[in-house]
Structure 1
Amino acid sequence: MRDDEFGQDVQADDAFDVGPLEEELRRAAAILDPVPAELRRIAVEAFALHDLDARIAELTFDSVVDAIPVRGATDVPRMLTFRAGEVTVDVEVTGDGLLGQVLPPQQALIEVLTGPQTSAPLVADDMGRFTGDAPPVGPFALRLRTGGEVVVTEWLRV
């Protein structure tokens, strides 16, 4: 125990919980002084560089750009294909999550990058197939760890 400025005993473990205050300050800053969109984009792109030894997988097919739309079809999945050397990653993005395959078929750990934090890694089986229950929100990229190799896809918006 220690005395406060009025001479009363104060317990040392009566610490002030700053969690709600911090959250309120974050909300105020987001409203009064938001991060510019261009700065956010640059920060997300810079974050992708933390795996400098990773190979970058280039987007070779995007159904939003390359596919012919079907009349009357709504809520169609987005199909993406990435390639880095001999490794190809096919991904289907739906409102329910991700479905994909690594080719040539091999086991891999796949992380869905959506900013500073990553979700739980997805595991590709012996056939290279993987699924994720949560669709990515906002800009995202995939980081694949196959054996001793790391492959990172380009960043995209869903």
Structure 2
Amino acid sequence: MSEDGFPTARDGFDATGSDTGPDDTGSDADTGAEAVVDADALDALEEELRQTAAVLDPLPAGLLQLAMDAYALHDLDARIAELTFDSLVDAVPVRGVDDPPRMLTFQAGGLTVDVEVNGDGLLGQVLPAQPAHIEVLGGPGAVRPLTADGMGRFAGDTPPAGPFALRLRTGGEVIVTEWLRA
């Protein structure tokens, strides 16, 4: 091992990290011996490489937080509501309208969620009409709770920014929509 903890040719490795074998010929076939690698040395090397990568190419904090939030939101009992209509893709543009609202429809089994996203926030309805607790899931730590009334209607006064999804709790059922970019 060198002073910095990396294997050297003396340890059976050449400059490229390839195993040179016990006779430094580069071939174990001649001797029939297998290279013995010290597990502690490999663990130390792996840790040093992790630390080097963390310094030279750190993971952006926002991306790390998004990954942790996405994992925390993972709910095995939740059903995924599939996007069945998106006005950005499926609708015909209206002439004379500069910034039309985005209309979205999600379906999960017999449940439909219609959502309108505009610059003032979002409006929506759960069908069949029923009360529900809704969470607008967004960036790191951003969860905005909404409540659907007895007719399934809900509204939020803050438009989603960046990736977002909705989590609905209706009775004993949890439904999560696909993630979309606002």
Q: Secondary structure at the match of 1:142?
A: strand
Q: What is the aligned length? A: 126
Partner letter of residue 65 of structure 1?
V
Structure 2 residue 113 is the aligned partner of structure 1 residue 89: yes
Paired residue type of 1:112: V
Q: 1:35 and 2:76 equivalent?
A: no
- Give the structure with higher Rg (CA): 2
Equivalent residue, structure 2, for 1:107:
131
Structure 1 residues 111 and 146, CA, compared in 2 at 3 Å: closer, same or farther? same
Residues 1:68 and 1:36: Cα distance change in structure 2 (over 3 Å): farther
Match of 1:20 in 2: none
Report the equivalent of 1:59: 83
Residues 63 and 79 in structure 1, CA contact (< 8 A), matched pair in contact too:
yes
Change (3 A) 1:74 1:135: same
Question: By percentage of residues, which structure has more strand?
Answer: 1
Unaligned residue ranges in structure 1 (runs of 5+): 1-31
Equivalent residues of 2:133, 2:147 under 8 A apart: yes
The ranges of structure 1 where at least 4 consecutive aligned residues each deviate by more than 6 angstroms after the TM superposition are: none
Deviation larger for 63-72 or 118-127: 118-127
Deviation sequence 1:97-154 (CA, Å, 0-9, x none): 0100000000000000003424331000000000001001100000000000000000
CA contact (8 A) 2:167 2:175 kept: yes
Residue identity matched to 2:74: H
- Taking the aligned partners of 1:44 and 1:96, their CA distance within structure 2 comes to 29
Q: Of 115, 123, 129, which residue of structure 1 is paired with 2:153?
A: 129
Normalising by structure 1, report the TM-score: 0.71
State the partner residue of 1:140: 164
What stretches of structure 2 of length at least 5 have no aligned partner?
A: 1-56
Percent identity (aligned): 72
- Secondary structure of 1:120's counterpart equals strand
